[in-house]
Amino acid sequence: MYRPRLLIDGDTLRLEEILQVAHNEVIVELSPEAQACVRASRELVDRVAAGDTPSYGINTGFGTLAEVRIDKKDLRELQRNLILSHAAGVGAPMPIPEARALLLLRCNVLAKGFSGIRLETLQLALDMLNKDVVPVVPERGSVGASGDLAPLAHLALVFIGEGEAFYQGHRMPARQALERAGLTPVVLEAKEGLALVNGTQAMCAVGSLLQLRAEMLSLVADIAGSMTLEGLLGSHKPFIPEIQDVRPHEGQKACAAHLRRLLAGSDLVETHINCSKVQDPYSLRCMPQVHGAAREGLAFARRILEVEVNSATDNPLVFVDSGRIVSGGNFHGQPISLAMDVAAMALTQLSSISERRVEQLVNPTLSNLPPFLAKNSGLNSGFMIAQVTSAALVAESRVLCHPASVDSIPSSAGREDHVSMGMTAALKGRQVADFTRTCLAIEILVASQALDYRLPVKAGRGPRAAHELVRSRVPTMEKDRELHRDIEAVSQLIDSGELMRVVRAATA
């Protein structure tokens, strides 16, 4: 299968390109300019390693052991020991797309030319990506101090033929995976081990894929909300431009504009122009304000990630122009940790208001529809427990929104005395995204039943297209059945992107 090329240079990688690599859709290559930068950086490291002046990570120990001098004859063993000792991760392996993203992001940082890696070592990493050799990287074990030390050490194990890897999706010893791909492990030279394990790439890998998913879910939330609004015969007036213009938050304006596009062409809105209802509940009326605030939080997270994935996060950094190798703190994950906490909170806002809309749908005193939207209610319970499931997921999401970014447990004998917990924040955010997707699937499923009751009058173009797509996979509930299958079917429509494609086509 033909795959286009993606040139990386350490400066211009986009989040959408990370997703392409995560799904193995492109061939990754190093730009000529980046190759020159990597060579120049390595030449400086070689000169320092050949001398007697102490330089952290090149001829000294690490962390609290930075004052311990290492003999030149032991420099290779020093780098190998660093990888072996730091590979202390535990838990389930990162999913293959996230592990591929991790490998790409590490390559992109090395491509900047501030790490001192040899070009052949970086080329092995690129060959692994392109030949689908993906390191097995345990999810747990990073506090985001010198970056993601444990996850990156597990990544680096494969470079030296240790640890495990997935080859074309099959898990096996790393050396065997490399051999099957026609690749040879490297022997790490001075500073190369340190160049591979310092940085924020694990939290950024999880975070980048989470960010793109969260942005998609923010649009799905508008679709779900528009379906519920039409099913409940809600008003379109709260979304008019004039209301947004006098409180001009960009997220609020964008959400309201999206809702207007979704609801355009509605016949249902004409059926209740002269109804006695004065105002809708907040979960309907305030969608631009609540969904919009979530968009603003995600916009902040995107800005942080876009900077971080193209940043030098090593320590020490190799500055060729000045001839200096300098220790600093660019590996600290605090920016990403805070951004991922915000992303989790933004997503939980979307699931929380969605659950309230489901309550509006299933509660007959609020909807003027049959109890729990069941036909022959009493004999049938309808969507009673779908709302309960949504409530359970929202409750757990709220617990997961406890911020990791304000936590810190000192490590490395007090040298790393303030840490970011960035990987923790990213993993929590990923779980919240799963829950939010399911909450939105439940709302879409329940709203589809409400729209059934409104037929033959047609909803707006967006809700109508979503309703028809759902009904092509999930029939109207005539009597009780296993709801988990229906929830999963709608969840797959969201995850596959089919829901977004169909609705976009209908509202273009």
- For 315-365, write each residue's pLDDT tens digit: 899 999 999 999 899 999 999 999 999 999 999 999 999 999 999 999 999
Query: Tokens 């509930």 correspond to what residue?
Result: 477
What pLDDT does 74 receive?
78
What pLDDT does 328 receive?
92
Beta pairing, strands 324-326 & 317-319: antiparallel
Q: Are 442 and 394 in contact (CB under 8 A)?
A: no
> What band does 395 get if pLDDT is binned at 50, 70 and 90?
very high
What pLDDT does 435 receive?
98
Beta pairing, strands 27-30 & 5-8: parallel
Ordered DSSP codes for 114-156: -S---HHHHHHHHHHHHTTEEE--EEE---SBSBSHHHHHHHH
What pLDDT does 48 receive?
84
Output phi, psi for 226, to 5 deg. -70, -35
Q: Are 97 and 86 in contact (CB under 8 A)?
A: no
C-alpha span between 350 and 490 (Å, rounded): 17
Average pLDDT, rounded, for the chain: 94
Mean pLDDT of 261-283: 88
> What band does 66 get if pLDDT is binned at 50, 70 and 90?
low
C-alpha span between 437 and 324 (Å, rounded): 48
C-alpha span between 467 and 473 (Å, rounded): 10
Report DSSP state, residue 306: H
Question: Angle 487-491-496 (CA atoms, 0-180°, nearest 5)?
Answer: 155
Q: Are 483 and 390 in contact (CB under 8 A)?
A: no
Q: Are 347 and 339 in contact (CB under 8 A)?
A: no
Residue 67 has pLDDT above 70, yes or no: no
Mean pLDDT of 395-404: 97
274 or 339: whose pLDDT is higher?
A: 339
Cα radius of gyration (the chain):
26
- For 413-435, write each residue's pLDDT tens digit: 777 889 999 999 999 999 999 99
What pLDDT does 65 receive?
61
Q: Are 346 and 353 in contact (CB under 8 A)?
A: no
What pLDDT does 68 receive?
66
Active site residues: 56
The separation between CA 500 and the C-alpha centre of its own chain, rounded to angstroms, equals 18
- For 93-147, write each residue's pLDDT tens digit: 999 999 999 999 999 999 999 999 999 999 999 999 999 999 999 999 999 988 8
C-alpha span between 178 and 271 (Å, rounded): 66
> What band does 61 get if pLDDT is binned at 50, 70 and 90?
low
What pLDDT does 64 receive?
56
Residue 57 has pLDDT above 90, yes or no: no
Q: Which two tokens stand for residue 232?
A: 């409940």
Q: Are 284 and 232 in contact (CB under 8 A)?
A: yes
